[in-house]
């Protein structure tokens, strides 16, 4: 149980375009999901908390207009990278919890390359 699916696993886009990444909890409901960014050989950097039915909360230094988050249902959160630039190229990962004190389960990540 506790499977989190992320799609796409990789995407290449041109500078100035927008890219949407989906995160789904397949066998449980998640009122809260999290989005991370990871640079090569580094740990996960929390970007934002996605709250079902309400606005996302962003970590300091993360542009909310740049990284749009929508948590429309209890099993789906989306991250849209708007007007992507090469510096947005990175590995993006989502996670979700089954319950308040349960471990985080991560999606398989999305490799974004902006050309």
Where does this chain bind another protein (CB under 8 A)? 4, 6, 9, 34, 41-44, 46, 49, 57, 59, 91, 93, 95, 97, 100-101, 103-109, 111
In terms of DSSP bridges, do strands 110-114 and 32-38 run parallel, antiparallel, or are they unpaired?
A: unpaired
Q: How far is the CB of 87 from another protein (least distance, A)?
A: 20
Q: How far apart are CA 72 and CA 91, in angstroms?
A: 23
Q: How far apart are CA 51 and CA 34, in angstroms?
A: 9
**Which CB sits closer to another protein, 35 or 75?**
35
Q: How far is the CB of 77 from another protein (least distance, A)?
A: 13
Q: How far is the CB of 43 from another protein (least distance, A)?
A: 5
Q: How far apart are CA 53 and CA 17, in angstroms?
A: 27
């Amino acid at each position: 149980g506790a499977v989190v699916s992320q799609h796409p696993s990789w995407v290449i886009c041109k500078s100035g375009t927008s890219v949407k990444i989906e995160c789904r909890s397949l066998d449980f409901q998640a009122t809260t999901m999290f989005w991370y960014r990871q640079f090569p050989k580094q740990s996960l950097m929390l970007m934002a908390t996605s709250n079902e039915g309400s606005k996302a909360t962003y970590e300091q230094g993360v542009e909310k207009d740049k990284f749009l988050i929508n948590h429309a249902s209890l099993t789906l959160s989306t991250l849209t990278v708007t007007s992507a630039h090469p510096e947005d190229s990175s590995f993006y990962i989502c996670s979700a919890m089954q319950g308040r004190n349960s471990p985080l389960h991560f999606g398989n990540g999305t490799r974004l390359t902006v050309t």
